[in-house]
Amino acid sequence: MIGAWLRLPEGWRAVLALWGVILVLFAVGGLVSPGFFSVSQAGAIFRSASFIGLAAMGQTLAILIGGIDLSVGPLVTLGNVFCCLMLAGRDENNLWAVTAILLIGLAAGTLNGLGASLLGISPMVMTLATGAIVTGAVLIYSQGAPTGNASPLLRAVGVGFTWSIPNSVLIWLILGTALALVLKFTSFGRGVYYVGANETAAVFSGLRVNLIKIAVYALSGLTAAFTGIIIAGYTSVAFVAAGRDYPMQSIAAAVIGGVSMTGGRGGYGGAAAGAVLLCLIESLLTNLNMQEPGRKIMNGLTIIVLIAFYYRKSLGSGRSRPAN
């Protein structure tokens, strides 16, 4: 068995080890809190993880090319607030409202990509500025007190189940699998890794580096806005702070999952496991009756420790394309 484990690619070993940690924590939760190790509790944790996981899709791409996307949170908020305002609780508004929100997210992400690639603006600065613009637009449009609510169809998506699995988890599974396959088997996926591993070499090899960067940030904006729509279906109402924690959570999920902050290394399978681990720790602390300030401190410390571990590991092993 040890030999088979060692024959696995390093990326697969890291992801499987992370899932092993998740199973251990589930077991620990079951020991300290009756009912924690149950189907309903697991469903609640995975539903919460699906929101972070969806937002982490674009963030993973941005980090893989050596960038970052701090506009994820504001765009999640935009998707949540605009969705409820535009839908006003009516199914007949679904098509145009969802389309408009996704196009806004796509446009904001494209703006990030243009600034980071063609203008040479630091991705951190560019996405932070775009996020500020988006936040201002949300406050103007909602007048700081958003109204409206999700349509019946969107609520069914947000809180409903299919085959006893939360719909948001199924959506996350489908989209996450698609992203993992794109990264592994397509020329775009290979280009993402090459740009992150060595941008200069990617340029000389003939890759359209600027186009890849623009596409990555456009997809990040699109997935962030989509995350806000799914959250609106779950909450049914809008919150101006809906996406407040998502920049940090999406980054943490990716890096905990083995995506190197220096780019070019990691995969979405690890980021998905990282999202589950974050939500599992939060749920475990809640079941231990730890108050919110304590939970935030513990979450912050956990993220620091895990990110520091993976960052040191990535520096020590160099950058290469993984198997996962």
Which pair of tokens denotes residue 299? 């979450």
Given pLDDT bands bounded at 50, 70 and 90, which one contains residue 275?
Answer: very high
Cα separation, 145 vs 162, whole angstroms: 34
Cα separation, 6 vs 29, whole angstroms: 30
Q: According to the model, what pLDDT value does residue 62 have? A: 97
Q: pTM (2 decimals)?
A: 0.90
Task: Please tell me the least confidently modeled range out of 39-43, 111-115, 276-280, 293-297.
Answer: 293-297
Cα separation, 57 vs 245, whole angstroms: 16
Cα separation, 294 vs 288, whole angstroms: 11
Task: Please tell me the least confidently modeled range out of 1-15, 149-163, 185-199, 287-301.
Answer: 1-15
Query: Which tens digit of pLDDT belongs to each residue from 23-78?
Result: 888 888 888 777 777 788 888 999 999 999 999 999 999 999 999 999 999 999 99
Question: 269 CB contacts (<8 Å, ≥6 apart)?
Answer: 11, 15, 180, 257, 324
Which of 45, 68, 67, 88 has its CA nearest to residue 280? Answer: 45
Burial 74-85 (b: 16+ CB within 10 A, else e): bbbbbbbbbbbb
Q: According to the model, what pLDDT value does residue 322 have? A: 44
Sketch the domain layout of the chain as residue ranges: 15-22+36-317
Cα separation, 241 vs 78, whole angstroms: 10
Question: 233 CB contacts (<8 Å, ≥6 apart)?
Answer: 150, 154, 155, 156, 157, 158, 159, 168
Query: Which tens digit of pLDDT belongs to each residue from 201-258?
Result: 999 999 999 999 999 999 999 999 999 999 999 999 988 889 998 999 999 999 888 8
The CATH architecture of the domain made up of 15-22+36-317 is Orthogonal Bundle (1.10)
Report, in angstroms and rounded to the nearest whole number, the Rg of the chain calculated over CA atoms.
Answer: 19
Given pLDDT bands bounded at 50, 70 and 90, which one contains residue 194?
Answer: very high
Which of 123, 133, 126, 124 has its CA nearest to residue 75? Answer: 133
Q: Which residue has the tokens 């600027």?
A: 210
pLDDT at 171 over 60: yes
DSSP string across 159-201: H-EETTEEHHHHHHHHHHHHHHHHHHHSHHHHHHHHHHH-HHH
Q: According to the model, what pLDDT value does residue 300 have? A: 79
Query: Which tens digit of pLDDT belongs to each residue from 16-25?
Result: 888 888 888 8
Q: According to the model, what pLDDT value does residue 320 have? A: 42
